[in-house]
Amino acid sequence: MILKIAWRNLWRNKRRSIIIQSSVVVGVAAIILLDSLSNGMLVQMLNNQINTSVAHIQIHKNGFKDNKLVKNFIGEPEKVKSVIDRNSHVKAYSERVISFGLISSASNSSGVYINGIDPDRESKVSIMNAFIKKGNYITSKGNDDKMLREIVIGEKLADKLNVDIGDKVVLLSNTPDGSIGSDLFRVSGIFKTFSSEIDNSLVYIPLKSAQGLLDIGDNIHEIALILDDYKLADNVKDDIRKNLNDDYEVLSYSDNLPLLVIQLDFYKQSAYIITVIVSIALIFGIINTMLMAVMERIREFGVLKSIGMKNSKLFFMILTEAFILGVSGTIIGALLAVLTYLPLSHTGIDFSIFAASLESFGVGAIIYPVLLLENVINTLLTIPLVAALGAIYPAYRAIKLEPVYALRYI
């Protein structure tokens, strides 16, 4: 009975009901879309790092992460690869040679982070080949000493060195015995990624060319792994570590990107705080509107109390009205947010005007929102409750009315 009366009361004044409902719709849609955009930005930052250089798991000689010396290469790499091959969750892996060095052209020079890779294996672990803007990705493995070796560099670095496709550059780096290794390379490709730091500091050369430049024979510094499910990274890391001794360090992406992972976890928690802030604002709006509704219906409440309606029923009738508006507004707002989110999740939102700032964070100019089910459920459960809470004070004012005064109220 209370539900039926509350429903009828809502549509006796459609304008007032629509105003309250609209505020709920806008609040819910704003919360869900803001959550999806912020979460999408952080997830994109994490995925970009994983898919370019970090991978899901990295294996090095113990201590290499903190001290990237040329001589700190992996001992017995075949033993490590046999352990990797036994794990069914490893989708692909790539061997890498990593070192700091200096790149020079006829115009300028710059410090760089040298990555020696096997192009066939690396393409299964990273997506750097997809960022090639000019020229081609590395095609040779650097086995032919007669061929001028290939190098792929970032767009910002190419501009700094004033080089283009086909131009020659010289790479220099320390060798294990302390001497300087140098070699001549031809620019075969120029890439542009989501990160200005990567575009300005990373270069890619064939694995054999890197080993020759550093004079380390067939040794490697890193094995990068991609799994069939990134959520299994810690489990696979522990499994591999059990089968290797203390001469090796096995690191998951959360070990290599701790700050980014913490930011992602922090945002998931802060999403609740954002919901609470919006809810508080919504409560005051509902209190104001419902209080006006109570003042307009003083005579009605006087009649109801005169014919014997208990204060408890009157109280819950007003709460039910607010709850119905909260539920309906939440459902409409959630549907509106999801319908807006679906196309944006595929096309992304173009923030080209902030491209320079976003690239410094490693995001890219286009952000793809990511909607988490837990955020939607949290909003669907919270807002109707908030709407009911916002009606408590107006309902309290209604039950405090004296019937005689209410009946004579004009």
Which pLDDT tens digit goes with each residue over 332-378?
Answer: 999 999 999 999 888 888 776 666 666 555 566 778 888 888 878 88
Half-sphere exposure of 174 (CA within 13 A, CB side): 12
The pLDDT of residue 290:
74
For residue 124, pLDDT over 70 is answered with yes
CA distance 293 to 397: 11
Using the predicted structure, report yes or no on whether residue 23 has a pLDDT greater than 50: yes
pLDDT over threshold 70, residue 5: no
Looking up tokens 């090796």 gives: 248
Does the pLDDT value for residue 147 go beyond 60?
Answer: no
Percentage of the chain surpassing pLDDT 90? 37
- What confidence score (pLDDT) does residue 9 get? 65
Whether residue 385 has pLDDT greater than 60:
yes
Segment 253-282 mean pLDDT: 77
Mean predicted confidence (pLDDT) in 99-119: 93
Q: How far is CA 125 from CA 84, 91, 96, 121, in A?
A: 14, 9, 11, 7
146: confidence class by pLDDT, cuts 50, 70, 90: very low
- Spatial distance between the Cα atoms of 37 and 12, rounded to a whole number of angstroms: 39
Q: Which residue has the higher pLDDT, 96 or 142?
A: 96
Q: Are 68 and 100 in contact (CB under 8 A)?
A: yes
Residue 205 backbone zone (phi > 0: left; psi -120 to 50: alpha; other: beta): beta
Higher-confidence position of 394 and 101: 101
Q: Which of 54-58, 275-279, 314-318 has the lowest mean pLDDT?
A: 275-279
Q: Are strands 222-227 and 57-61 parallel, antiparallel or unpaired?
A: antiparallel
Instruction: Spell out the SS3 assignment of the chain.
Output: CHHHHHHHHHCCCHHHHHHHHHHHHHHHHHHHHHHHHHHHHHHHHHHHHHHHHHCCEEEEECCCCCCCCCCCCCCCHHHHHHHHHCCCCEEEEEEEEEEEEEEECCCCEEEEEEEEECHHHHCCCCCHHHHEEEECCCCCCCCCCCCCEEEEEEHHHHHHHCCCCCCEEEEEEECCCCCEEEEEEEEEEEECCCCHHHHHHEEEEEHHHHHHHHCCCCCCCEEEEEECCHHHHHHHHHHHHHCCCCCEEEEEHHHHCHHHHHHHHHHHHHHHHHHHHHHHHHHHHHHHHHHHHHHHCHHHHHHHHHCCCCHHHHHHHHHHHHHHHHHHHHHHHHHHHHHHHHHHHHHCEECHHHHHHHHHCCCCCEECCCCCHHHHHHHHHHHHHHHHHHCHHHHHHHHCCCHHHHHHCC
pLDDT of amino acid 353: 67
C-alpha span between 225 and 20 (Å, rounded): 53
**At residue 197, does pLDDT exceed 70?**
yes
Query: What is the residue extent of each domain of the chain?
Result: 2-49+260-408, 63-245
- Single-letter amino acid code for the residue at 306: S
Alpha carbons 63 and 71: distance in angstroms, whole number: 11
Q: How far apart are CA 134 and CA 314, in angstroms?
A: 73
77 and 212 Cβ atoms separated by less than 8 Å: no
Residues 6+ apart with CB under 8 A from 252: 56, 57, 233, 234, 236, 237
The pLDDT of 68-74, averaged and rounded, is 88
Q: Confidence class of residue 398 from pLDDT cuts 50, 70 and 90?
A: confident
Which sign, positive or negative, has the C-alpha torsion 309, 312, 313, 317?
A: positive
Q: What pLDDT, on a 0 to 100 scale, did the predictor assign at position 318?
A: 80
More confident residue, 176 or 303: 176
CB 282 within 8 A of CB 30: no
What pLDDT band is residue 215 in, cutting at 50, 70 and 90? very high
Is residue 239 within 8 Å of residue 87, measured between CB atoms? yes
pLDDT at residue 141 tops 90: no
Q: Does position 236 have pLDDT exceeding 70, yes or no?
A: yes
Residue 268 has pLDDT above 80, yes or no: no
For the residues 220-231, what does the mean pLDDT come to?
92
How much is the mean pLDDT over the chain?
Answer: 84
Q: What is the dihedral of CA 350, 356, 361, 363, to 10 degrees?
A: 30
- Nearest Cα to Cα of residue 247 among 77, 86, 90, 84: 77
At 355 the pLDDT is: 62
- Evaluate if residue 287 carries a pLDDT over 80: no
The predicted model gives 58-67 an average pLDDT of 90
State residue 364's pLDDT score: 67
Over residues 157-186, mean pLDDT: 93
Pick 355 or 106 by higher pLDDT: 106
Number of Cβ atoms within 10 Å of the Cβ of 116? 28
The C-alpha atoms of residue 168 and residue 172 are separated, in whole angstroms, by: 14
Our measurement of the distance from residue 15's CA atom to the centroid of its chain's CA atoms, rounded to an integer in Å, reads 41
Mean pLDDT of 126-149: 76
Tens of pLDDT, residue by residue over 293-324, are: 777 777 777 777 777 778 788 788 888 888 88
* pLDDT of 157: 95
